[in-house]
Copies of this chain bind each other. A is one copy, B any other.
């Protein structure tokens, strides 16, 4: 049986039974426990079901959109890999900031049951965070409708009441010369302030971000550590300036 076939079968079974035991899935598919566990991990990552002790259940909310969830793109896989590594930096009890953006969004499933406090300016993140029962604060301020991010002077001010163990930021451009850059000055202001308020600072950037320069700079290279999957030759130049972790698997 093909992996994708098996995934389909699992989803179908869970949909049908509302909640299904791992043993039953082993029976239905004929695969081993290990394989089913791996499958459930993946399917949960894709938001198609929820793992529970002993099996799997439907996603709690009625927001099940079987066809809506598109297939995982390549860049999404890269982002998820980086996000997974980033999440491993987070320890129980930490207070962290998660920036708006698609890369940082991928961190959320990996933060489940970490017993942490999250502050974010990404509206898309909120639903996911609360669904995973993660204690979440939203930054107050103007909503930039195009990106679903909270920005503006009020947001910067609101931010200053918090202090973070870690912050995880997205970025649009990284070069040695120009540091970290992003198109929107409003969002840059948030990022800049967040960097100041955090003990440990991480930039999440897939390979496509390297060598680009966007409109607004929000930090020098050395102002944060870089988590990436970029393996180009210039990596060493960056490594001389700051911590950089290349995530490959």
Contact = CB atoms under 8 A, between A and B. Distances in A.
Interface string A145-157: 1001010101101
A214 interface: no
A243 interface: no
Interface stretch (A79-87, A97-105, A133-141, A231-239): A133-141
A202 to B, nearest CB: 23
A52 interface: yes
Interface residues of A, number: 40
B3 A54 contact: yes
A123 B136 CA distance: 12
Interface string A115-129: 000000001001101
A145 B161 contact: no
A27 interface: no
Nearest to A3: B53
Contact of A138 (B53, B57, B135, B141): B141
Contacts of A137: 140-143, 152, 154
Nearest to A22: B2
A75 B81 CA distance: 45
The 4 tightest CB contacts between A and B, nearest first, are A140-B140, A130-B145, A140-B158, A2-B54
28 contacts: A2-B21, A2-B53, A2-B54, A2-B57, A3-B52, A4-B19, A4-B52, A4-B57, A8-B19, A61-B69, A130-B143, A130-B148, A133-B145, A135-B142, A136-B143, A136-B145, A137-B140, A137-B141, A137-B143, A138-B138, A138-B139, A138-B140, A138-B143, A138-B150, A140-B140, A154-B161, A157-B161, A158-B158
